[in-house]
Amino acid sequence: MLSDIAALRYQYKYEYKKLYHHQPHELSNAVFLRVYVSFDDIAFVPRERFEWIEEWHAQEERKYLIGVVSFDELKENNWWKENNTSLILTPDPVIEDIEIRKLKKKSLELAGIL
């Protein structure tokens, strides 16, 4: 505290290096989300726009799927808001390792498992 008082007396200015060299984080829409989509007719859900589909269930009246889709896809298109379609984010929806998941999926396809 004495050094601060002395600094004031001699008009010393503290240097804040991080203030001048800090690069602020930028927001990005390049995020992939795990979602639950409920619908009446699969024709209204563009399956080709999903990175992958993890689960699929169909009954006579209502169907659903759980899959991974890009945030940009949801932002730029309205298919998930129309035709009695419902979209809900799953718990912990952000997928951070999308490239690793794509590689694993490709390996399983090459092995004949998928």
The domain locations on the chain are 29-110
pLDDT at 106: 63
* Structure-token pair, residue 24: 């602020």
pLDDT at 9: 77
- What fold is seen in the domain 29-110? Alpha-Beta Plaits (3.30.70)
CB atoms within 10 A of CB 72: 13
Q: Are 64 and 15 in contact (CB under 8 A)?
A: no
What is the model's pTM?
A: 0.63
Task: Tell me the average confidence (pLDDT) per consecutive run of 10 residues in the chain, 114 residues long.
Answer: 74 66 73 94 92 88 92 94 95 78 64 58
